[in-house]
Amino acid sequence: MTDDQLLRYSRHILLDEIGVEGQQKFLDAHVLVIGAGGLGSPALLYLGSAGIGTLTVVDHDSVDLTNLQRQIIHDTARVGLTKATSAAQSIAAINPDVRVRALVERAGAERLHELVGAADVVLDCSDNFATRHAVNRACVAHTKPLVAGAAIRFDGQISVYDVRSAASPCYACLFPEDAGFEEVRCATMGVFAPLVGIIGSMQAAEALKLLAGIGPTLAGRLQMLDGRAMEWTEIGIERRVDCPVCSRRRS
């Protein structure tokens, strides 16, 4: 670690739970973030400022004026620019030492398996069940921890799915692929701007905790936020022994 890095990350290094060793783990880490929108914006900014060595950002979309109410990694001057590229520019402005791979694509199952396999931790900041399930399948296949968040209107949720532990459920244990959950989007339902900031920041926090070995994480727990009352509700998640995604992987 250089003198500049020791100074930049000094407030992390002062924490006994992180210290020089934990900060070095951040510098050596590779985090994959799917989506550079409302959730991905704060998550990427905090991961970049924390010194994650390599950040891979996957997003096929471009910055639109309607995004700027909540997607704080972008700005007015970048309307029309791809979100992955815009995110990389913002991270570089905060911490030029971070290596950002900006992938302008809609990653399918095969591509996700390739990307997940190269990462240490995966953040799902997408906005649809098809992508969430594809990311989960890849994380289960490669035994990589997944930090998944979601937010719509005034309601947010976050959990960690870490199948490195035999007791930990995967995303499909809670949301089965064949359950037919109703798809809702911010474009039609709206979303309270600070809500995505809260959930996305928590995703970054859980990723850093996983990398540094700071526990406990949210594995096996789903936290739900009512953004109107600012009240949290937590439920336990159990691993389904008959889950078609993760049961065979652990048998």
Catalytic annotation, residues: 186
Count of CA atoms in the C-beta half-sphere (13 A) of 193: 8
Question: Of 217, 186, 220, whose CA–CA distance to 203 is shortest?
Answer: 217
Residue 146: helix, strand or coil by DSSP? strand
Angle, helices 19-28 vs 193-212, to 10°: value is 110
- Cα–Cα distance between 120 and 105 in angstroms, integer? 21
Cβ atoms of residues 117 and 109 within 8 Å: no
Sequence-distant (6+) residues with CB within 8 A of 16 are none
DSSP H helix total and E strand total for the chain: 10, 8
